[in-house]
Amino acid sequence: MKPDHLLDRSTNRLHRWLIYVVAATLSTGPVGATATPPAKLSPVPGMFTDMKYQQEFGDFVGMEIFIVPSGDGGHFALVQCSDGKLTKPVLVQASFKGIAVTLEPHRDPLSSCPKAAFRGTISDAELRGQFEGSSHVRRLKRKSSVWQLEDVLPGAK
């Protein structure tokens, strides 16, 4: 059997070694684990609209585009157009390169939206662009949907 003063020295070394191992493990995380950065939300999603309710005629004019993330790094846009008569909204794929946005064309015969690609730019304030084949530039403000405003919906009050 070892004398007591040698046991104390061995125990102290063992304690120091255990403290070192625990500290090293806590500072680096579990062995084999990789740090995953928190998911970064894209600044792109949002509602862009110039649609208005015309009280005197009881109808809507304009366009709304609601851009949402798809969960796989992509985006989709729900697009609704009205020239006085509301028609079916369409869901199209949206792609981005920097601030440039492209909405794929749709083929839905029940929608009054142009059946061409929409190309434009996006900012914190608006989505600005035009449909292929058109010279009309749309400026859709980033704001609430016309469907969220109680004062414009017939019979909402």
CATH of the domain at 65: 2.40.128
* 66 plus 138 within the same structural domain: yes
> In which element (H, E) is residue 5 found?
helix 4-28
* 25 plus 95 within the same structural domain: no
Q: Whole-prediction pTM value?
A: 0.69
* 133 plus 92 within the same structural domain: yes
The end-to-end CA distance of the chain, in Å, is 92
- Give the SS3 label for residue 95: strand
Q: pLDDT 10s digit of each residue in the chain, 157 long?
A: 545 544 454 444 444 443 443 344 334 444 444 555 544 555 689 999 999 988 888 889 999 999 999 989 899 999 999 998 889 999 999 999 999 999 999 999 999 999 999 999 999 999 999 999 999 999 999 999 998 876 565 555 5
pLDDT at 104: 98
* 68 plus 145 within the same structural domain: yes
Asked if 99 and 125 touch (Cβ cutoff 8 Å), the reply is no
User: Quick one: how many helices (H) and strands (E) in the chain?
Assistant: 1, 9
Is residue 41 in a domain?
Answer: no
Q: Count up the domains in the chain and report the number.
A: 2
Is residue 88 in a domain?
Answer: yes
Is residue 157 in a domain?
Answer: no
pLDDT at 55: 85
88 contacts: CB under 8 Å, gap ≥ 6:
80, 108, 110, 111
* 67 plus 17 within the same structural domain: no
CA distance 145 to 47: 6
The whole domain housing 94 covers 46-152
